[in-house]
Amino acid sequence: MGYEHNPRGAYGPEQTVPHATGEYAHPPPQHHYTPAPAYTQQPPQQQQQQPPPQQVPCAAGYPPQQFTPQEAQATGGLQNWFREAASRSGVLGDRELQAVMRRASMNFSLELCRQLITMHDRTARGDLNFEDFTLLFRYVDKHRSQFQVLGPDDRGVLSHQSVHKAVTQTGYTLSRECFLALMKKFDRWGYNGLPLDGFIELSIFIHNVKDTFAFYDKKRTGNVLFNFDAFTMASAHLFSP
């Protein structure tokens, strides 16, 4: 979750890279989500014979999604939630997604719902079909599990130390000043920590920062020389209007 990364895909010694031009002059829009390493690793399980994963039909042009038996069982509940909340066109917008998240005991703002839709909307239409929604729910549920492992307090809030641990475990190194600036940005209610929605927003933000920075850091040195125009353009891809 930061500008410095560990070796092997890592950013190395400090150098500068000139501003990109030509066909590489614009960083890619933040649409698709590429899963990052998990915050915590589960201990290896004993090998045992498992039934083959089930397939769920997918929209034309995309391969069917693979589900474990446990996920396939849970998918029936997701289908019910999706049908109940979806508009007449059979898709979820930000308000419909917010309603589904509340059904799952997660009170997300419309802004966070829009960010999640942008990450998982593979058709770039601003809404979700059922297959997009299942991927989004996997992403959210994974973060909710990680959030619980990190140990929120009685208010459902992670301390600064717990959030910093999560950031460090993903392989990113942030200065104290940078980390505190992020906490101030996403601790909107003055909890002195992050609730689940703030934790997910932080994760999305750093994911987008990583992708945008990597676009300019062609040589993977961990340093980029920005002029004002390039910095403004990069910022436009990070912050919602």
Domain 66-149 and domain 151-241, same fold? Reply is yes
Quick check: 169 pLDDT over 90?
no
The CATH superfamily holding the domain 66-149 is EF-hand (1.10.238.10)
CATH of 151-241, one of 3.40.1260.10, 1.10.3720.10, 1.10.238.10, 1.10.760.10: 1.10.238.10
Q: Quickly list DSSP for 156-169.
A: S-EEHHHHHHHHHH
Q: Is the dihedral of CA 192, 195, 197, 203 positive or negative?
A: positive
- Mean pLDDT over residues 168-191, rounded? 91
Confidence at 165, pLDDT banded by 50, 70, 90 = very high
- Mean pLDDT over residues 156-167, rounded? 95
What residues are paired with 173 via a beta bridge?
Answer: 4
- Mean pLDDT over residues 86-115, rounded? 92
d(CA 207, CA 215): 13
Q: What is the DSSP letter of 22?
A: G
- pLDDT at residue number 27: 58
Nearest Cα to Cα of residue 202 among 166, 152, 161: 166
pLDDT tens-digit series, residues 180-215: 999 999 998 899 999 999 999 999 999 899 999 999
In the chain, where the domains are located: 66-149, 151-241
Tokens 């703002």 found at = 109
pLDDT tens-digit series, residues 52-80: 333 333 333 333 344 443 444 455 678 88
| Cβ neighbours for 233, distance < 8 A, ≥ 6 positions apart | 26, 27
Mean per-residue pLDDT of the chain = 76
Quick check: 14 pLDDT over 80?
no
- pLDDT at residue number 99: 92
- pLDDT at residue number 166: 93
pTM for the model: 0.68
Residue percentage of the chain with pLDDT more than 90 = 49
- Mean pLDDT over residues 83-98, rounded? 90
Angle of helix 160-169 relative to helix 176-186, nearest 10 degrees, comes to 120
